[in-house]
Amino acid sequence: MNNGQQEFTLADIKQRYPHQWVLVEETAWNKHGDPLRGIVRAHGVHRTEVSGPLQKLHKKSSVKTFVFYTGTVIPENVTVVL
């Protein structure tokens, strides 16, 4: 479902929206079901900027979406222990 919107690879999205939260409507997947391409539906510096558009998108249709942060999630000098 493209509706005239431009699809991008996830790498392209990361490059176009650096250090932002991005809501992507998934349009293509790899054999494991991981998203490869999609249409950017919302983006912003704060995660809350994609929350409203996410809810609206799911109310009007059953789509697969992906929300992710395009910047460094864990700084290089930080060690995470789980």
Task: Express each pLDDT in 9-22 by its tens digit.
Answer: 999 999 999 999 99
Q: Distance between CA 69 and CA 24 in Å, rounded?
A: 11
- Taking only the tens place, the pLDDT of each residue in 6-61 is 999 999 999 999 999 999 999 999 999 999 999 999 999 999 999 999 999 988 77
Average pLDDT over residues 61-81: 86
Phi/psi of residue 28, nearest 5 degrees: -150, 145
Longest dimension (CA), the chain: 44
**Domain residue ranges in the chain:** 8-69
Cα 68 vs. chain centroid, distance in angstroms? 5
Using a cut of 0.85, tell me whether the model's pTM lies above it: no
